[in-house]
Structure 1
Amino acid sequence: MVKDRLIFPLIQEYLSIFPAVGLLGPRQVGKTTLVKNLKLDRESLYIDLEKASDRAKLVDPELFLKSHTDKTVILDEIQLMPELFAELRSLIDELRQPGRFILLGSASPDLIRKSADSLAGRIGYLELTPFFLGEVEPDETEKLWIRGGFPLSFLARTERESQLWRQNFIKTYLERDLAQIGLSTDPRLVERFWMMLANAQGGLWNAESFAKALGITRPTVNRYLEYLEGSFMVRVLVPYHHNIKKRLVKSPKVFIRDTGLLHALTGVDSMAALQNLLLIGASWEGFVIEQIAATYGEAYEYFFYRTHQGAECDLLLVKNGVVKTAIEIKNTLSPKLSKGMQISMEDTGAEEGFVVCRVDQGFPLSEKVKAVGLREFLGRK
């Protein structure tokens, strides 16, 4: 069972403030369903830019949109017609009312940049993630971890149905969606790249190694990563290095964001199968990071910390340049405070520390560090 999407009130707030609201997120995450269920102050008009018939209505966008100033116009897959941004800017400047446009976008690495050039000060952006722990029942944590949070995967009647949906999602993304967002290349090559990323979940990014393995250039492999990041498929977690006089790791860590897709890419079809693989630790780490990021959103900036001497912290929550929280992520029921965690907290000046693990009830590991379960940690918000 899934509760209401927790982003609902925030979207309603944005619609009362901004003339245009951009709702971004991966395909099949539920953006269209969500906006169609919004309680709007006026009638809405939905335009699907993937449909030729709807695109035909916008041959003269100024004429068409001016005839619907009394409606909230929803433009789905806006990245397919980036030329509309200039028109929207003019229309908004002529009649600056909140909630005039809702722009839905997925899988465009430069979507925000293009619209920001045209709609700066006129648009508020929100990201719709797959389901996260705050939106599912307390006993569904393991199900969310294995299946991921895409609605049709998580809500599938059986594990087999969920697995088939994810496999077909990956195929469609590779064969159709990548080309639509501007990456015209061999889908089989990108599939190999994506599978390599999955098997190296949470590893340091080494473009040269990936390029050699795939037989392509370093700029090309970096471009693949850029597209996967921009389409919400991967998270590139950058290292923290502010004002620290130590030799630090400078390469980012890369995670497949949705663990359901991670498991589909690596052939994992159940918790029993995952428990027999070394991947389980990296899978849990990525799952925890995504749940924290989805819950706290833009309240923090997110980093990891690692020195060349081996001190490491899996996640730092930073606000206004201050490290508020240091987090070590462990797939264990018997956590211990590591030396690396202690050094990382000293180096970064973290105000508090947590080891997020599989325990049911938290307990202190030191004066500043506590072991907690994931739900307990998220409940601190």
Structure 2
Amino acid sequence: MIIRRLQPILEDRLARSSVVVLTGPRQAGKTTLALTVGEAMGALYLDLESDRDRARLLEPELYLETYLNRTLILDEIHRMPQLFPLLRSLVDRARRQGRRNGLYLLLGSVSPEVSRQAGESLAGRASYLELAPFDSLEVGSEALETLWLRGGFPESYLAPDEEASFRWRQDFLRAYVEREIPLLGGRLPVETVRRLLTMLAHLQGELLNLSRLAGSLGLDGRTVGRYLDLLADLYLLRRLPPLEANVGKRLIRSPKVYLRDSGLVHALLGLRTLDDLLGHPVVGASWEGFVVENLLRVLPEGGEAYFYRTRAGAEVDLVLRLGSGEMWMIEIKRSLTPKPRPGFRTALGDLKPSRAFVVYPGDEVIPVGEGVEATPLPLLMTRLWDGS
């Protein structure tokens, strides 16, 4: 059993808030975490994709008001959006009776739908958390390469061997392409969506050129843009925006795109083993995306993430603006001799960050220039998570 970093935070939120909304991709471990936390609270669990549990809610108000004295976990809440106004009424009723915390834990795997419904109906009553797949701090630094190859989805990471992990990821992608995307209104043929995902895997970490991507698929840009939105809503895609900085230089203004789980990138490209990955042209981009995603999972609340690139060649893979006002510049290299690129040094002069790092796959901190440290990923994650 891998302890999730989010567990104590979830327990604290339930102790303080009437409603906690826990979102994240399917199969990331939301249900397991909710049941672990809920067991100690004597919570009741309902899966709204289960016909039996949905049948209990044929008269939802009568059923739910019976359990106002007990924490209720509602899984895949977006399947019954009509519950949100009722939950608001029940929360207010419980508050009048003196109970103000731990009423409902709502789980959902579609970000905007859950957030919109909860925001409209539960404003001022709900707290929000996102559970991502496993990250480096959760599995330990000794398992870093396994996590990179297999990705962080628990079934993939914990599979008995590489082939079983690879098959699980193939099945996971197939389920999203054939079921989840159509449920959100996707109308493109399954094979076209699969081609789009495979192209995004090849374009990992590159600037988004929507017209070029659409042309390669024989589609219009608006359609492809809508599907990118769907993939982002399902927690599969990240669009990293460019930093808007007043530095007197011409800046790149297109976002960079990443498939968020490295294991899915490798499955789409047919990379089963670490040897397959290390010999493939995507290796550097895959490592970059893996580092970006892990660091953003521990970004303190209120922090913002960007990349920086000028048309003259100054470049930073990741710029973090922390809530404290600090700016961190981060270059990402898949090399044991992590020398910063000239473009990174130029960007140091442009942006004048509080701290600068090169993340590399080594296991010790190495000075690589004035004010720049080459740092292992787990250590930099710990610094962000601990605020050090």
Give the structure-1-normalised TM-score.
0.95
Summarize deviations over 1:306-335 as a string: whole Å, max 9, x none: 111111100011024945210000111111
Q: Indicate whether 1:305 and 2:308 are aligned.
A: yes
- 1:266 is matched with 269
- 1:362 is matched with 365
- Shift of the 193–30 alpha-carbon distance from structure 1 to 2, 3 Å rule, reads same
| d(CA) in 2 for partners of 1:66, 1:148 | 41
Letter in 2 for 1:36: L
- 1:250 is matched with 253
Moved more, 100-109 or 179-188: 179-188
- 1:225 is matched with 228
- 1:87 is matched with 86
Percentage of pairs with the same residue = 43
- 2:59 is matched with 60
Is the Cα–Cα contact under 8 Å of residues 357 and 374 in structure 1 kept in the other structure? yes
Moved more, 258-267 or 114-123: 114-123
Q: Superposition RMSD on alpha carbons, in Å?
A: 1.6
- Across the two proteins, how many residue pairs are aligned to each other? 380
- Shift of the 230–321 alpha-carbon distance from structure 1 to 2, 3 Å rule, reads farther
Unpaired runs of 5+ residues, structure 1, are none
- 2:22 is matched with 23
| d(CA) in 2 for partners of 1:51, 1:379 | 39
| d(CA) in 2 for partners of 1:274, 1:42 | 44
Is the Cα–Cα contact under 8 Å of residues 24 and 111 in structure 2 kept in the other structure? no
Is the Cα–Cα contact under 8 Å of residues 109 and 226 in structure 1 kept in the other structure? no
Letter in 1 for 2:215: K
| d(CA) in 2 for partners of 1:299, 1:133 | 22
CA offset at residue 65 of structure 1?
1.0
| d(CA) in 1 for partners of 2:3, 2:307 | 31
| d(CA) in 1 for partners of 2:29, 2:216 | 36
Is the Cα–Cα contact under 8 Å of residues 323 and 348 in structure 1 kept in the other structure? no
1:168 alignment partner, SS class? helix
- 1:139 is matched with 142
| d(CA) in 2 for partners of 1:42, 1:197 | 43
- 2:33 is matched with 34
- 1:352 is matched with 355
CA offset at residue 108 of structure 1?
4.3
- Shift of the 345–242 alpha-carbon distance from structure 1 to 2, 3 Å rule, reads same
Give the structure-2-normalised TM-score.
0.94
1:141-220 equivalent positions in 2, closer than 5 A:
141-220=144-223
Letter in 2 for 1:235: R
Moved more, 108-117 or 121-130: 108-117
Is the Cα–Cα contact under 8 Å of residues 74 and 102 in structure 1 kept in the other structure? yes
- Among 291, 294, 297, the alignment partner of 1:294 is 297
Letter in 1 for 2:82: E
| d(CA) in 1 for partners of 2:196, 2:324 | 34
